[in-house]
Amino acid sequence: MKIVNEMKGACMLVSVEGRMDALTAPEFEKACADFLDQGKTNVVVDFALLEYISSAGLRSILASAKKLKSKGGDLRFCGLTGMVEEVFRISGFQAMFTIVPSFDDIAGS
Amino acid sequence: MRRGISFRLTVLVLACSSLIFCIILGYNYIISRGIIVRMAEEKGDYLASNTGQRLAEVFSSVSTVVDDMAQSLENGALTEERVRRMGGQVLRNHPEIFGTAIGFEAYRFDPYRKYFAPYHYRMNGGVVSTILGGDGYQYFYMDWYQLPRELGESIWTEPYFDEGGGGALITTYSAPFYREENGQRRLVGVVTADISLGWLQDLVSGIDVCDTGYGFLLSRYGAYISHPDSDLIMNETIFSRAEELGLPDLRELGRRMRKGDKGFVELAGFQGLESVFVYYLPLPMQHWSFGLVFPKAELFADVSRLSSVMSGMGIAGIGVLAGLILLLSRTITRPLRLLTTAAREIASGNLDLQLPEVSSRDEVGELAGSFQTMRTSLKSYIADLTETTAAKERIESELSIAREIQMGILPKLFPAFPERSEFDIFASIEPAREVGGDLYDFFFVDDNHFCFLVGDVSGKGVPAALFMAVTKTLLKVVAETGLEPGEVLAKVNDDLAEENDSCMFVTLFLAVLDVRNGEVRYANAGHNPPLYVQAAGAVEWVPSACEPMAGAMEGMTYSTGTMHFSPGDRLFIYTDGVTEAMNRDSDLYTEERLLEDIAAHPQASAAEIIREVDAGIKTFTAGAEQSDDITMLAMTYLGTTSAK
Amino acid sequence: MAQKSVRLVLQWYPQTQFAGFYVAREKGFYIRQGIDLNILSGGADISPSNVLKQGKADFGTMFLSTALEAHYSGVDLVNVGQIVRESALMLVARKDSGIRTIQDLSGKRVGMWGPEFQLQPLALFKQEGIIVDVVRQSPSFELFMRGGLDAVSAMWYNEYHTLVSYGLNPDEMVTFRFSDMGQNLPEDGIYCLASTYREDPELARSLVKATVQGWEYAFAHPDEALDIVLDVMKKNNVRANRAHQRWMLNRMRDIIRPGDRENVSTDLSGETYEAVVRNMLDSGFIRSAPEYERFFQGGAR
């Protein structure tokens, strides 16, 4: 799983590529923890290149979101496609998180 | 271990040093012999030329005298007086001459005398004369006369024994003399001088060559003129000797000597005699040859002795060397052997064995030190391993107990409600590990309302199992209060999310069946949509409102859906362990396959359909490792007790 | 038995050529026959027939041809036993002289001994139609070895081996044996004056018998025979070596007992006698010869 992050204005744009499962999810959690340490609590995750997500992946998203929120930040998502979008829908995550089609939509708000 | 280091080292060093020593010794021996041989040659040369010189002096003085006599006889008158006087004079003036004769051709001196040969010789200190010749002494056919006559030149005869005077060995120089007669040069006679060879024999036999060596002299034809064995003198030739002794090499030597060769040759041992070296040299004046015999053993005695001593020293030295090497290698191999024995002991499990003390500060000492370290490390490693293994075993045993507990809290008795005929229910659960995160439950809320649910905790193993237990308990407690399914989930969600540091969540599908009319009210918290199978055979997914899984966030609301079941309709609930079951090619089972499977068995009972699907999953995965818990629950509504 | 004092003169110096006589004397075979034998040595200047004629010996050995010649010149000899059955006379040339056949000897210097040794060569040369330069040769072979003679006479049992012991290898010599060239005249025999025989024929027979025993003993015990002869030679100051005498003894055996014969025979056949006589008449050596029966008194009676 590849994680590429880029400061875009006030937001940290994080692109995740590959599969997020029990093996790779901790990397995502750690990345978010790093952002937290750096004070970048406004994180937007781009899942356009994410092929697969398991419940372990969902857990780490949830855990990271909780930590960021407790420090006044937020975890938002964009670029959901395919199976990942399906999982988000079924699991009800879309009800818990802000999900937009692409990053530009966020910039607007 | 028999052919150990000690042995190999010793043998190797021994072999090398022996080889080197042998080479040195051999070289020394060969060179020394060469030197000795050269020295022998030089000696031979010296002796031979010495002898030859003496010979030449004597012989040339004699031949000069005779040639002078011949010359004088060719001129001047040939009177008896003159002839007689000449003989006496020569003897008086030349002490080395033994006798002198002047032999005339038949009737040449005196027409009435066929034979006339006045002969003067020494006897008893004085000079005596006689006339030789007669029928008993036909000197014309004797070598001293015939040879110069026929060959037309002065010659030295072969040595011979003088029968007349004392048996001394004599050789004669004969010179022909001629006169002109009627225009032709005609032989008048032959004048001779005899010399005794006793002095020569003494000279040669006096030659000192080692202890048993000697010199010998051969005549023109190889006859022995001088030899330590006086019986051989003039009786045998070197060739007859060779024949008698059966030595072709000796004959060959004789031929070379006769040919006038000079050389140094080795003759192999005769029977009883040892090997000898012979140095031979021609004495050209008379075509004689001189030989010096060096007994090989004597000649090389010094060298042999030296070599023997050197060999002895060498062998002793190598022996000492061998001993030292053996000793040294023992200091290496002894500790090694001890360590080997200790290693075997340790290998058999005795880690507390005290290793042998090796105090040397060399490689072997280091080896022993490493051994010690290894032993200590091994010991602590094994201790750790033992502890870890024990801990692991403990955990495993605890896990299997946990599994029992977990399975224990799930209803497993089927048929679950034999006295109720309104529905048929069956459920199965297969955790991926000893304990799992899937759950199911079913119970009567009240007499007419039957609640059944399936859940899937995020994760696997002990954490999921604990969360699963909490969730199941909460669900039952809340559901038994008779709330609507949506409300139940909302309440449970709040409770779970409240103290959820580990961020675990659980997908849930909860349904309540009104057994009187087949109404099914349900709620779905992020769970896979179940399959609704109508009695007639149509299969469809139960729509989901996509509400979030429970435990994630407080304050979530959940909607309650309603379905109306006819008798024979069935609900098939499962967890994603079913649809995400993977085969070895990492293909997923998928919802489509599940749907097909379900649709293929419209008439199956709850238990049957679950078994079918289970079999189908097993076939599909074909032995690949189970990655997630597989849980299935099937509920068939049978209706109230009105006959079908 | 009373011992008769008998003198026997040999035709040459002591050597194994006469082993039979010396051995018989040493072993007492003559004594057993009642003969006290005195052996007189021969030599280069001694002619046994002359000695017999002068009455200085009772018996003598000589070649058959020599005896016939002597007889022709007036010595009335009879043969009481023919010892040597074949001829051992030969001519030897050096291979490097280029001489290969008898013809090559034409005009060459050929060494020969006294008259009795000249019969065969001269007969042969006459037969071959060649003339050679005859040179009287001395007992040593110096002249030949020094190149003064192209060929020499030699006895197969004696001088031939002398040349070998001078260092000449057999393959360096060219040999012509008269026995191979139609001149195979029997050689040594025992003779006495006819009068001597008439006086005491038993004596002659006993002498011959003891001599035959001596020869047979010598052939059976060669080493002992050599010892006896070498001793005699040494006493007579004759140059001797064992190897040479051994050769001689072996060759004497070949000509005294040719082929596989067991016994020594002293017979002389009529044909052989006549052949020799004819040869000598043809060569002009003699003009007449006695009758066989008169001349030969040996053999079995």
Check: complex ipTM more than 0.90? no
Q: Which residues of B229-257 are buried (b: 16+ CB within 10 A; e: fewer)?
A: eeebbbbbbbbbbbbbeebeebbebbbbb
Q: What's the mean pLDDT in A71-78?
A: 86
Q: Which residues pair with A43 in a beta bridge?
A: A12, A75
Strands C4-9 and C59-62, by their bridges, are parallel
Distance from CA of B134 to the nearest CA of C (A): 10
Chain C CB within 8 Å of residue B244 CB: yes
CA distances from C234 to C13, C237, C241 (A): 11, 5, 10
Question: What proportion of chain C, given as a percentage, has pLDDT over 90?
Answer: 46
Strands B169-181 and B160-161, by their bridges, are antiparallel
∠ CA B610-A83-B589 to the nearest 5 degrees?
30
Q: For the purposes of burial, counting CB atoms within 10 Å of the CB of A9, is it exposed (0-12), middle (13-18) or buried (19 or more)?
A: exposed
Chain B CB within 8 Å of residue C44 CB: yes
Round to whole Å and give the CA distance between C136 and C143: 10
Q: Is the peptide bond before B415 cis (omega within 30 degrees of 0)?
A: yes
Q: Do A92 and B546 touch (CB under 8 A)?
A: yes
Chain B CB within 8 Å of residue C238 CB: no
Q: Mean pLDDT for each consecutive 10-residue tract of chain B (644 residues)?
A: 70 87 88 84 82 85 91 85 87 88 89 89 85 83 90 89 71 92 89 88 80 86 87 85 86 88 80 76 83 82 83 88 82 80 82 73 80 85 88 88 88 85 90 85 92 88 87 94 93 88 86 92 92 88 88 88 92 91 86 89 87 92 86 90 52
Q: Is C206 helix (H, G, I), strand (E, B) or coil?
A: helix
Chain B CB within 8 Å of residue C136 CB: yes
Q: Which residues pair with A52 in a beta bridge?
A: A19
Q: Is C43 helix (H, G, I), strand (E, B) or coil?
A: coil
Round to whole Å and give the CA distance between C250 and C225: 11
Round to whole Å and give the CA distance between C120 and C113: 12
Q: What is the structure's pLDDT at B79? A: 84
Q: Do B237 and C166 touch (CB under 8 A)?
A: yes
Strands B184-196 and B276-283, by their bridges, are unpaired
Round to whole Å and give the CA distance between B138 and B188: 16
Residue of chain A whose alpha carbon sits nearest to that of B460? A56
Is the domain spanning A2-103 CATH 3.30.750.24? The answer is yes
Residue of chain B whose alpha carbon sits nearest to that of A91? B526
Domain boundaries for CATH 3.40.190.10 within chain C: 4-86+186-295, 89-180
Q: What's the farthest any 2 CA atoms get from each other in chain A? A: 35
Q: Class of C89-180 per CATH?
A: alpha beta
Strands B539-541 and B561-564, by their bridges, are unpaired
∠ CA B220-B225-B229 to the nearest 5 degrees?
140
Domain regions of chain A by residue span: 2-103
Q: Give the one of B147, B220, B251 whose C-beta lies nearest to C148's C-beta.
A: B147
Q: Is B554 helix (H, G, I), strand (E, B) or coil?
A: coil
Short-list B42, B67, B53, B125, CA closest to B91: B125
Q: What is the structure's pLDDT at B231? A: 81
Short-list B126, B130, B115, B219, CA closest to B171: B219
Q: Encoding tokens for residue B248?
A: 């072709």
Q: Encoding tokens for residue B239?
A: 């060739």
Round to whole Å and give the CA distance between C219 and C203: 24
Q: Is B548 helix (H, G, I), strand (E, B) or coil?
A: coil
A-B interface: how many C-beta pairs under 8 angstroms? 53
pLDDT over threshold 60, residue C301: no
CA distances from C52 to B472, C21, C40 (A): 169, 18, 12
For C4-86+186-295, CATH gives 3.40.190.10
Q: Is the peptide bond before B111 cis (omega within 30 degrees of 0)?
A: no
Short-list B30, B98, B38, CA closest to B65: B98
Whole-prediction pTM value?
0.58
DSSP state for residue B264 in the 8-state scheme:
E
Cα of C178 vs its chain's centroid, Å = 14
Q: What is the pLDDT of residues C242-300, one digit of tens each?
A: 999 999 999 999 888 887 677 888 888 888 899 889 888 887 888 888 998 888 887 65
Q: Residue B302 carries which side chain, given as an amino acid letter?
A: D
Phi/psi for B172 (5° steps) reads -120, 135
Q: Give the one of B459, B529, B548 whose C-beta lies nearest to A93's C-beta.
A: B548
Residue of chain B whose alpha carbon sits nearest to that of A55? B458
Q: Which chains touch B (3 or more CB pairs under 8 A)?
A: A, C
DSSP state for residue C15 in the 8-state scheme:
S
Q: Do C165 and B243 touch (CB under 8 A)?
A: yes
